[in-house]
């Protein structure tokens, strides 16, 4: 694609001008702690789902300023030659701690904590937020859909309604939140996801008749395929679909309905299929579904859901609204100091934070315990005394990415993790209505610094 192999320019210009000024002022080397978190859950959702962490780690490995990047920056003259030289030698050498993909999160959960020099850590802001905000928004919507679908499979069909590269990663995020597969072929190749799909209305319209189209599809895909039955008239479509499969010596795998009143049609089509003896033929539906319509279809005889637009656009909330804030940095005394923006309506909580989830006696998540601490060890000791499950993992050590959290295998692990994390939520976590987070956040400051 146009952006090339380096991820280094996927950034806001001000990261570069800040670096330039900080190198000049002598403050660029101050040890710093940046934190990515969400102040709120958009849309009054009850929980969020972390996704994109593995992609962040892969992107950091490719965050290098090569000749082409340096040449471009030199040409536009926004930073000094000293800074260009610094950039040419840059690779992230700090540490990153964070929530693993699939974990549920709540307001102020410290989803990603990046430590290193200011120069090292400030550079990654835009890229980290782009990835986490997109992928977590999709994963959060996807989780509400799979929760509403219960045991019925959900498939991701939204590529056409979102940016072509975003589509790949929307599919990845959906699978983390329990989707069984995707229509996006590139997502299949890149991440080893299951891909799915059979035909569109155009295929039926291309042929002289619905019968001819169905026979053609079965000839290559077999009787077990899914036939789209709503191009002309649904009852006739269903009849022809079943007949086409039987003509090829089999029973039809499924019919797909893509328009109209899906609930009423599901009952009508199920009855027709049963009356025709096609009791094993399944029904899949695919028309502008979201978590609410999936829930409403719960009592209808539907076997699977294909979800498009609403999934890839976060079902009304296309960004997770995470921010990346400097929460602590070294002072002239060589000690770390909590810092936070003071003015107006955007208050931040300062300091390095260690997070754990406290369960109640029934095993449900009861509290997101976030500890402002001087060190990881202090924070973890506090969590241990509180009986909280630690939520952060060491994702990067001295610039080296922990390979457990990247690549294809990490996606299956994330899906499993999400299933467990969601299962632990209290009843409120499963509510689709707007409201308070399912698990309250408690912030404890055990920071001992003399700020």
**Which one of residues 88, 90, 152, 190 is an interface residue with a second copy (CB under 8 A)?**
190
CB atoms within 10 A of CB 444: 16
Extract the tokens encoding 255. 């019919």
**Residues 107-166 close enough to bind a second copy by CB under 8 A:** 118, 122, 125-127, 129-131, 133-134, 157, 159-166
Query: Closest distance between a second copy and the C-beta of residue 239, in Å?
Result: 14
Closest CB 388 distance from a second copy, rounded Å:
29
CB under 8 Å to 67, separation ≥6 — which residues?
Answer: none
What phi and psi values does residue 391 have, to the nearest 5 degrees?
-105, -15
Contacts (CB under 8 A) with a second copy, residues 62-81: 69, 72-73, 76, 78-80
Q: Which stretch binds a second copy (CB under 8 A): 139-147, 229-237, 271-279, 395-403?
A: 229-237
The residues near 362 (Cβ < 8 Å, ≥ 6 apart) are none
Q: What strands lie across the sheet with 254-257, from one edge to the other?
A: 181-182, 154-156, 304-307, 282-285, 254-257, 226-228
Give the span between the Cα atoms of 105 and 437, in whole angstroms. 9
Which residues have C-beta within 8 Å of that of residue 25, sequence separation ≥ 6?
Answer: none
What is the closest distance, in whole angstroms, from the C-beta atom of residue 102 to a second copy in the complex?
A: 19
Beta bridge mates, 423: none
Assess 219 for contact with a second copy (CB under 8 A): yes
Under the binding rule (CB under 8 A), the answer on residue 442 touching a second copy is: no
| Residue from the set 309, 367, 386, 441 that interacts with a second copy by CB under 8 A | 309
Q: Which is nearer to a second copy, 91 or 347 (CB)?
A: 347
d(CA 18, CA 118): 10
Question: Whole-number minimum distance, CB 378 to a second copy, in Å?
Answer: 22
Please report whether residue 34 would count as binding a second copy according to CB under 8 A.
Answer: yes
Can residue 268 be called a binding residue for a second copy (CB under 8 A)? no
In this structure, what token pair is assigned to residue 223? 């009787």
Site for a second copy in 342-371 (CB under 8 A): 342-346
Among 188, 390, 426, 449, binds a second copy (CB under 8 A): 188
Residues 61, 259, 389, 446: which binds a second copy (CB under 8 A)?
259
Would you count residue 232 as binding a second copy (CB under 8 A)? Answer: yes
Q: Say how far residue 32 (Cα) sits from the centre of its chain.
A: 27
Instruction: Of 132, 140, 178, 189, give the one whose Cα is nearest residue 312.
Output: 140
Q: To the nearest whole angstrom, how small is the minimum distance from the Cβ of residue 34 to a second copy?
A: 7
57 vs 439 by CB, closer to a second copy: 57
In the complex, least distance from residue 125 CB atom to a second copy, rounded to whole angstroms: 7
Q: Which is nearer to a second copy, 16 or 401 (CB)?
A: 16
Other C-beta atoms closer than 10 Å to the C-beta of 60 total 25
What is the distance between the terminal CA atoms of the chain, rounded to a whole angstrom?
47
Given a contact cutoff of 8 angstroms between Cβ atoms, the answer to whether 320 and 36 are in contact is: no
CB distance 181 to 194 below 8 Å: yes
341: contact with a second copy by CB under 8 A: yes
* Shortest separation between residue 352's beta carbon and a second copy, angstroms: 15
**Does the footprint of a second copy cover residue 445 (CB under 8 A)?**
no
What's the closest the beta carbon of residue 17 comes to a second copy, in angstroms? 6
Residues within window 2-21 making contact with a second copy, judged by CB under 8 A: 2-5, 7, 9-18, 20-21
280 scored as a contact of a second copy (CB under 8 A): no
Query: How far, in Å, CA of 252 to CA of 336, rounded?
Result: 67
């Amino acid at each position: 694609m146009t952006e090339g192999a380096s991820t280094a320019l996927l950034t806001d210009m001000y990261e570069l001008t800040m670096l330039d000024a900080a190198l000049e002022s002598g403050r660029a080397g101050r040890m710093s702690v940046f934190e990515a978190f969400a102040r709120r859950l958009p849309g009054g959702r009850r929980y969020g789902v972390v996704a994109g962490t593995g992609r962040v780690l892969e992107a950091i490995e490719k965050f290098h300023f090569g000749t082409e990047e340096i040449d471009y920056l030199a040409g536009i003259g926004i930073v000094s030659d000293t800074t260009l030289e610094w950039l040419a030698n840059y690779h992230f050498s700090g540490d990153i701690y964070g929530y693993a993909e699939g974990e549920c999160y709540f307001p102020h959960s410290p989803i990603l904590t990046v430590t290193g020099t200011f120069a090292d850590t400030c550079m990654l802001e835009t890229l980290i937020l782009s990835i986490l905000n997109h992928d977590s928004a999709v994963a959060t919507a996807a989780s509400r859909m799979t929760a509403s679908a219960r045991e019925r499979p959900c498939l991701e069909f939204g590529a056409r309604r979102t940016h072509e590269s975003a589509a790949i990663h929307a599919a990845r995020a959906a699978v983390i939140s329990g989707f069984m597969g995707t229509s996006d072929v590139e997502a299949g190749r890149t991440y080893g996801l299951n891909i799915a799909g059979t035909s569109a209305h155009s295929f039926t319209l291309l042929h002289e008749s619905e019968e001819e189209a169905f026979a053609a599809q079965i000839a290559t895909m077999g009787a077990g395929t899914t036939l789209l039955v709503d191009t002309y008239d649904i009852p006739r479509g269903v009849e022809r679909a079943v007949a086409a499969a039987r003509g090829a010596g089999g029973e039809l795998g499924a019919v797909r309905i893509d328009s109209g009143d899906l609930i009423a049609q599901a009952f009508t089509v199920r009855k027709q299929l049963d009356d025709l003896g096609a009791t094993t033929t399944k029904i899949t539906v695919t028309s502008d579904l979201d978590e609410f319509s999936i829930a409403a279809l719960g009592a209808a005889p539907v076997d699977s859901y294909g979800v498009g637009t609403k999934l890839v656009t976060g079902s009304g909330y296309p960004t997770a609204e995470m921010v990346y804030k400097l929460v602590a940095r070294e002072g002239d005394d060589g000690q770390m100091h909590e810092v936070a923006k003071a003015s107006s309506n955007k208050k931040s909580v300062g300091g390095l934070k260690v997070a754990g989830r406290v369960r109640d006696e029934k095993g449900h998540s009861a509290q997101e315990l976030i500890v402002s601490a001087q060190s990881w060890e202090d924070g973890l000791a506090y969590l241990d005394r509180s009986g909280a499950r630690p939520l952060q993992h060491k994702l990067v050590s001295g610039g080296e990415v922990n390979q457990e959290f990247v690549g294809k295998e990490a996606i299956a692990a994330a899906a499993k993790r999400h299933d467990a994390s969601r299962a632990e939520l209290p009843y409120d976590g499963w509510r689709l209505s707007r409201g308070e987070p399912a698990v309250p956040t408690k912030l404890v400051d055990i920071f001992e610094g003399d700020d």
